[in-house]
Structure 1
Amino acid sequence: MAENSGYVKEEQGADPERAREDADDKADESDIKVTIGSPGPYAGMPKEVLLEYSRKRGYVLARDILTAIVVLTILVLLSLVIAIMVISPACLEFWQTSPIYEIYPKSFRASDDTNGYGDIKGIIEKLGYLGDLGVQIVSVNSLYESSQISNDYEITDFRNIDPVFGSMADMESLIVSVHDEGMKIVVDFVPNHSSSRHSWFLASSNTSHPDHSKYRDYYVWVDGSENDPPNSWMSADGNGSAWTWSADRQQFYYHAFSASQPDLNLRNTAVRNELKDILRFWLEKGVDGFRAIGTAYMLEAPHLRDNPLINSSLPASRDNLYPDFTMHYKGNHDIVSEWRAILDEFSTEPGVFRFLEIRDEGTQNTLARYYGTEFRSEASFPRNNLFLQAAPVEWNARDLSGAILDWMKIVPDGRWPSWTIGDQDYSRVASRIGAGKSLLAAVLYMTLPGTPTIYYGDEIGMEDARGALPDSARATMLWGAGESNGFCGNCTAWTASVAPTASKTTEEQQGDVDSTLSHYKALIAMRNDMIFQRGYFCMIGNVSDTLVYVRELRGLKSMLVLLNFGIEQSSFDLTVTHSSISGHGTVSIRFGSNHTLNAGDSIDLRRIVVPPLAGFILRMDAGDELLSESDTMNGKCYIHSKLCYNAGLQVLEYC
């Protein structure tokens, strides 16, 4: 068979009419200029020829081989993907990967000069600052409509915004703006009590109110005589009896806090349903989670017996009573698990999880119970009060190492710890323990396993304002120059501000690489390192008055943290007591002013010198044996889930 040139040859004996049409076509084509050497029109390979070639053994074999290679490649890649999915851990949730930034809205930023209060629009204005800081979670203290008697926690409407902060439209704008910045928003949830001016209490306390029958049992009412309270229970705010007489109802009502904050009756199913509806209301608005406050006081013993005295020779008082029947009473965890179920209703979409933090008082063991059990989930984590409640003299390597290990032993396996050094009800950390130690405290809670919560202003080292707690810890934020330090344009702030000489503003610290703000930024960025989010925490402990611990992960270089909380220089050799530590470490970040080393400098781990009130984070080569694998470190190393880093695949895997 002759070779087919790709042109179709006219057959003999063709139809005359067809021949005439072809002649006309050729006449038309004669007008077309063809460039010499250019190919003519290509009609393609005829079907018969294509089939003939495609059936030849060589072509069939080549086609089968190529098909097999493609199929095999797809299967290998699919198997590899499945294998990686099987051996790799799930991604961390948003509340595990970022610090939480807690805002007291009255004092954060006022968008206008109308009333001297910080507001929602002021928070929106500063979202860029928070993004630059590196945080991805904004936790806003109570914004709800309130009687404003005790700073926002005497709520008169759980579903509305107090006018001093703005409107519901402003709140909706804040939620959208936070999400537009790639952040999450957490709001307060106050389930224990309402304001005495709440419509529920007004109806419950007034027997002639048209809705009295509906709300009669929304609060805790007990029979008695006016001058004879039912028992010795005392209010948590230290203002005497937890019972107040209602002349209208001729009964006492219970209040764990002030008389203007009556306790809700959470044994009443209708009240519990109201609280669940409040959660749903804000979840539908788009919030990403809640910080539940006052949960310790939600239930009281129905038998109303006196709380036992601590010292029987002294009269009953808040500090001389064991709160056996008024705090963390049985049934509390049932309520919290009900909330978790509501949050789970809004966590069904891929990548969506609604966060719940319990912020309360109690022993470490009591608080750890709010993690729930393997059969019933409760909080994402309870707030750990360890650093808030540590006395100034306890901020030393010996006491801190012991306290941290005690808490890590209590946290249930597979659960996530939390840490904080500042809060609206505690003196600011820079005032509590001093500016030098407060910077080391920042390094500590940013590099421990778990989620740190930054109280607004701590990132610039703000100190207490003039006056008494709690207002002294709620001073207006120091943004920049001017009479109000940038809190507002020209207003009289609702509370005192910190003296300009005591703390530098964010504006002053922005360009200073050694400022507290710059150190916080560096720490938050470093915390994104896989080793700090996923790695082992191993407490070496008190070494010559320096707190020493390691963060490590098989397959990566380990991080050594050295913090000298003392007033004397500390010198030691780590290789003597820990054979898995050897060689040199490279400075990643250094803290304090009493040093000569800088980032990138090398330190011989046999001759470590840490100046007073200073510290280092060193990156060091991991030896054949990790510290967490050493028998000498039993009970001193912890990890959320045991992982290794596969350098070949560049993925985390279970090991």
Structure 2
Amino acid sequence: MTQQPWWRSAVIYQIYPRSFMDGNGDGVGDLPGIVERLPYLAQLGVDAIWLSPFYRSPQADAGYDVADYHDVDPLFGTLADFDAMLKQAHLLDLRVIVDLVPNHTSDEHAWFRAALASPEGSPERARYIFREGQGAHGELPPNNWQSVFGGPAWTRVPGERQWYLHLFDSKQPDLDWRNPEVRDAFDDILRFWLDRGVDGFRVDVAHGLIKQPELPDWDGSQAMVEGGSMGPMWDQDEVHEIYRRWHRILEEYTGHRMMVAEAWVRPQARLAHYIRADEMQQAFNFDYLLARWDAGELREVIDDSLAQTQAVGAPTTWVMSNHDGVRHASRLGLSQPGARPHGIDSHGEQPDEALGLRRARAAIMLTLALPGSAYLYQGEELGLPDHTTMAAEYRQDPTYHRTAGREIGRDGCRVPLPWQAQAPAYGFGSDGMPWLPQPESFRRYAVDQQEDDGDSTLALYRQLLALRREHELGEGSLEWLEAPGPEVLVLRNGALTAVINLGHDPVALPSSAGNVQACSLPGALPNTELPGNAAVWLVG
């Protein structure tokens, strides 16, 4: 039998480098820190890691403003450190995916500096999207587009009529992907990292590279998530030419190299265009991330996801949290469980931490029971909540500052991980001063507090990942079984039956499904009844 590509069923762990492990004590996570903790990830049981950006950058948007795509920012180490990390990961049978940021560069990139130093109409400016301003003296933006981060999507060049487009921060000018020079440059970037041995790319803002050429006005609102596919700046059909070209580059290399699209696109049928046989291999399933704690909604999203991906021969992905939103352990503890606020601070509703964790433990048992590929966000295996009371003076997300605090932003989900309960910075680094403050509650979530506790969330993740691999659930298929109530999901994947009770009242377990192998609740395994907000896996 032909071996399936690894990415079709992989569990991939997202590392946010600045918050994973600080190897040199400067308060910021780095590549040597990742190397130190790779054995932890191998023991966890994941198949691959995805690293958020580590390129040279002024860090205006935590590295998503890239100044040099061919080098590592000194904040994180050196190219030699990257090569050492990649080698060690491969020795531990962990694949490595790196972030690619093609929609925009930093305003400190050599290309943009050259553009500002060159006249209107020059080849240097043609790499970006410069346009004449409106009004008698060009004092008004070229159109009414708004930034995803808040405020206008245009910034005027001092002393000129021209403005440049930035769908995100003003320090992140958008590239013009109709320019052949831009396309050639990214071919070289792909090959640079593929030659070093990376196994794939997570493509940032994959749906945004091509804009309608007329740049027409658009009155819709912009949002990081929900509004992502609406408007003349998103999900244009020409973008697929780029990914077919990249697909051909990846095929030049051995080892099933892959790409995964960050494309906030709806409906699922549009998202499936990104993972046709000659384009990307995966796309993040944000409909699943956005689904509420509701059995009917989850089942509908799962069915639609599987149908649309199967139609193009691609695997479905499942993801509950990432670096761009409130962690699901906190979202599931809100009065509307699963709602997606744009950050939480001390003035907002505070989640029920215990209930959120209880539901999060049940939710992972649904996620890992599904066929396809799953993505985990660092710290979710510890049950980490968001930092929901962070003081304003610590916040660094440009969204917070560009909206004058109306949107709290993403800092709460990016807080450095706790490794040791009694160490400075909970073992994240030696100086005790991490780049974002950790809440006191992180002490009880620290790895060393969970390591030898068979009832911990970490132990649950390790158990589920081992069972998932043993029963080949990623390569399996989904069959819904009759549920004992409207708030319950019962599914079969091969020899495994998963029961997820999203309600508050206990329900009877199916007597013919086999023996309980794992339960989201700590303590003794249930025999006949499953309590509310809980899940079990049965095999028989």
TM range (shorter): 0.7 to 0.9
> Could you say what the CA RMSD is over the residues aligned between the two structures, in angstroms?
2.2
- Residue 230 in structure 1 maps to residue 136 in structure 2: no
2:45 corresponds to 1:134:
yes
Counterpart pick for 1:343 among 222, 239, 250: 250
Letter in 2 for 1:380: Q
Where does 1:299-448 land on structure 2 (aligned, <5 Å)? 299-307=210-218, 309=219, 323-347=230-254, 352-363=255-266, 364-373=268-277, 377-390=278-291, 394-413=292-311, 414-433=313-332, 434-448=356-370
Q: Once the two structures are superposed, what CA deviation does each residue of 1:489-547 show, in whole Å capped at 9, x if it has no partner? A: 22310001132367511111111111100110011111113441332211236531221
For the 8 Å contact 2:20–2:33, the answer to whether it is kept is yes
Q: Which amino acid aligns with 2:281?
A: S
- Alignment check: 8 A CA contact 2:229 2:265 kept: no
Structure 2 residue aligned with 1:93: 5
Greater relative contact order, per chain length (Cα 8 Å cut-off, separation 6+):
2
Matched, 1:474 2:424: no
- Secondary structure (helix, strand or coil) at the match of 1:339 reads helix
* CA shift in 2, pair 1:329/1:208, >3 Å: closer
SS of the aligned residue for 1:587 comes to strand
Distance 1:388 1:583 in 2: 32
On the 8 A contact 1:479/1:486 being kept in 2, the answer is yes
TM-score (norm 2): 0.86
What are the superposed Cα offsets for residues 102-122 of structure 1, whole Å, 9 maximum, x if unpaired?
A: 000000001122x21001000
Post-superposition shift, 1:136?
Answer: 2.4
Distance 2:222 2:5 in 1: 43
Q: Distance in 1 between the 2:502 and 2:315 partners?
A: 26
The alignment's TM-score, normalised by the length of structure 1, stands at 0.72
Shift of 1:245: 1.2
* Secondary structure of the corresponding residue to residue 437 of structure 2: coil
Please identify, of 92-101 and 177-186, the stretch whose mean Cα deviation from structure 2 is larger. Answer: 92-101
C-alpha contact (below 8 Å) 2:288/2:302 kept by paired residues = no
State the alpha-carbon separation in 2 of the partners of residues 435 and 322 from structure 1. Answer: 31
CA deviations over 1:79-135 (Å, ceiling 9, x no partner) = xxxxxxxxx3x212222343101000000001122x210010000000110111111
- Secondary structure, aligned partner of 2:386: coil
- How far apart are 1:328 and its partner, in Å? 0.7
Q: Is it true that 1:243 corresponds to 2:172 in the alignment?
A: no
* SS at 1:290 equivalent: strand
- Matched position secondary structure for 1:129: helix
Could you tell me how far 1:406 is from its partner in structure 2? Answer: 2.0
Distance in 1 (CA, whole Å) between partners of 2:492 and 2:51 is 33
Structure 2 counterparts to residues 78-157 of structure 1, below 5 A: 88=1, 90-113=2-25, 115-157=26-68
Return the offset for 1:588: 1.4
Q: C-alpha displacement at 1:224, in angstroms?
A: 2.4
CA distance in 2, matches of 1:143, 1:282: 13
Query: 5+ unaligned residues in a row in structure 2: which ranges?
Result: 333-355, 391-407
Hey, what does 2:351 align to over in structure 1? Answer: none
Does 2:198 match 1:287? yes
Letter aligned with residue 494 of structure 1: W
Aligned partner of 2:480 in structure 1 is 539
Contact map agreement 2:49 2:97 (CA 8 A) in 1: yes
The one-letter code sitting in structure 2 at the alignment partner of 1:108 is F
Distance 1:540 1:327 in 2: 39
Task: Give the drift of 1:149.
Answer: 1.2
1:219 partnered with 2:128: yes
Taking a change above 3 Å as real, the CA distance of residues 531 and 94 of structure 1, as seen in their structure-2 partners, is closer
> 1:353-382, CA deviations, whole angstroms, 9 ceiling, x for partnerless residues?
111100121212322211125xxx111110
Aligned residue in 2 for 1:500: 441
Shift of the alpha carbon at 1:445?
Answer: 1.0
- Corresponding residue for 2:339? none
Aligned to 1:610: 530
In structure 1, distance between residues paired with 2:131 and 2:122: 16
Question: Aligned partners of 2:506 and 2:173: how far apart in 1?
Answer: 54
Alpha carbons 2:15, 2:49 under 8 Å: kept = yes
Contact kept, 8 Å, 2:14 with 2:376, in 1: the verdict is yes
SS at match of 1:153: coil
Q: Deviations along 1:318-337, whole A, 9 cap, x unmatched?
A: 69998331101121111111
Separation of aligned partners in 2, 1:586 and 1:180: 36
Amino acid at match of 2:465: I
Residue deviations 1:8-38, cap 9 Å, x none? xxxxxxxxxxxxxxxxxxxxxxxxxxxxxxx
SS at match of 2:429: coil
Show CA shifts across 1:202-232 (max 9, x none).
10122269xx954231101112243222222
The reply on whether 1:548 has 2:493 as its aligned counterpart is no
Structure 1's 157 and 560: CA in aligned 2 closer, same or farther, altered over 3 A?
same
What is the distance in 2 between the residues matched to 1:534 and 1:322? 30
Check conservation: 2:426, 2:443, Cα contact below 8 A.
Answer: no
Q: Is the 8 A contact 2:386 2:412 kept in 1?
A: yes
Give the Å deviation of 1:253: 1.0
Residue 463 of structure 1 is matched in structure 2 by 385
Q: Indicate the percent of aligned positions where both proteins have the same amino acid.
A: 31
Q: Which residue of 1 aligns with 2:341?
A: none
What SS does the aligned partner of 1:507 have? helix
Q: How far apart in 2 are the matches of 1:541 and 1:370?
A: 34
Q: Is the 8 A contact 1:459 1:517 kept in 2?
A: yes
Deviations 1:562-601 (A, max 9, x none): 11122111137x5xxxxxxx745111112214x7536xxx
Amino acid aligned to 1:368: A
* One-letter identity of the residue aligned with 1:453: Y
Q: Which amino acid aligns with 2:376?
A: I
**Alpha-carbon separation, structure 2, partners of 1:448 and 1:321:** 26
CA distance in 2, matches of 1:340, 1:437: 39
Q: Confirm whether residue 200 of structure 1 aligns to residue 140 of structure 2.
A: no
How many residues are paired up? 490
Contact 1:147/1:197 (8 A) holds in 2: yes
User: Structure 1 residues 536 and 321 mapped into 2: Cα distance closer, same or farther (>3 Å)?
Assistant: closer
